[in-house]
Amino acid sequence: MLKVENLARYFGGIKAVDGIDFDIHRGEILGLIGPNGSGKSTTVNLIAGLYAPTTGRVTYEGQDIQSLLPHERANLGIARTFQNIRLFGQLSVWQNLWAARVVRETGWSGLKERWFSTASQGKLETESYLEFCGLQHKRDQLAANLAFGEQRRLELARAAISGAPLLLLDEPAAGMNSEEIDDLDQRIRKLRDQGKTIMLIEHHMELVMGVCDRVVVLNFGRKIAEGKPEQVQQDPQVQAAYLGSDSDDDFMQAALQA
C-alpha cells in the first residue's frame, strides 16, 4: 500500500532520518517505535508531506508522491493525527467531524451542499463517527472545551471520517491514563475492522505490542529491527537501544513484559 525507500532527512549535520526502508501492507496495523529522538515523527512528516526528503522516496498505491503537497496526499487517501492535538478549537465537535469530510470533494459547490443540506449521507456518517468517539452528548460543545482524552478521541475520529484508507497516528496515547489507553486500543482495532490501514507511532508499549501486527524500530534515524511484536521484543539491538538509555528503561521493560 505504502512503500518507503532509502528515506532520509537531514537538518544541517543532524541525520534525523537516515536511509530507512519499510512497507505498510493493506489492512494491517504497523507500529513505528524507537527511543526519543530516533526519527519517528520526522518519518511521519516525510510521509505526510510536511518535510521534503533529503534522499529517497515514498510511494502510495504504486504512485510516487514526492512532489505532492500535504493536502494532495490527504486527497489521495493519507490522513494523520499529531502529537500535539490540532483540532479546530473554535468549532464544535460536530463541525470538526463534518469539516474533515471536505477532502473527499472539491469546490465551493460541494462544500455549500454539505453545509446546508438537511438530510445528506454526510450528516448520517458524521453521526456515526460521533458515536465512534463517544461524544454524541457533546456534539455542540467547542472542541477547545473538551477534556484532553476527549480531544484525542475526536482527533482520531476526524482522521477516520476523512475517508482516507491509510491513517498515520502520531502518539495518540500521549497524556492518556491506563483506562483511556485501553479504550484507545479498542477504537484502533475497530478502525482496522472497518477496513482502515494504520501506522501507529507510539511510546506506550503495552498498546503497541497488543494491537500491532508488525513493528519497525528506529534508533538514531536508522531502522534497526522489523518483525512481529514478539520478535522485536527479543532483538538484541532493540534491547540495547532502549536499555542503554536510563530515560527509556521503563519503556523497554514494559515492552519485554507485554
> What mean pLDDT do residues 135-164 have?
92
Side by side, the strands of the sheet bearing 197-201 are 78-80, 166-170, 197-201, 29-33, 214-219, 222-227
Higher pLDDT, 252 or 137: 137
Give the pLDDT band (50/70/90) at residue 124: confident
CA distances from residue 217 to 9, 14, 132, 158, 221 in whole angstroms, order as listed: 17, 19, 30, 27, 10
Query: What is the percentage of the chain residues whose pLDDT exceeds 90?
Result: 55
Tell me the pLDDT tens digit for each residue of 60-119.
999 999 899 998 898 889 999 988 888 888 999 998 988 887 655 554 555 555 555 544
Cβ-proximal residues to 227 (8 Å cutoff; 6+ apart), any chain: 214, 215, 235
Give the pLDDT band (50/70/90) at residue 157: very high
Amino acid at the residue 126: T
Give the separation between CA 154 and CA 156, rounded to whole angstroms: 5
pLDDT at residue 111, rounded to an integer = 57
Give the pLDDT band (50/70/90) at residue 205: confident
Indicate the CATH number of 2-77+165-257 among 3.40.50.10860, 3.60.15.10, 3.40.50.300, 3.40.50.740: 3.40.50.300
> At CA 178, angle to CA 176 and CA 184, rounded to 5?
65
Tell me the pLDDT tens digit for each residue of 235-253.
888 888 776 544 444 444 4
pLDDT at residue 75, rounded to an integer = 86
Domain residue ranges in the chain: 2-77+165-257, 90-163
> What mean pLDDT do residues 143-168 have?
92
pLDDT at residue 256, rounded to an integer = 45
Tell me the pLDDT tens digit for each residue of 159-191.
999 889 999 999 998 888 889 999 999 999 999
Specify the range with the lowest mean pLDDT, choosing from 16-25, 97-106, 136-145: 97-106
CA distances from residue 60 to 177, 204, 225 in whole angstroms, order as listed: 34, 28, 23
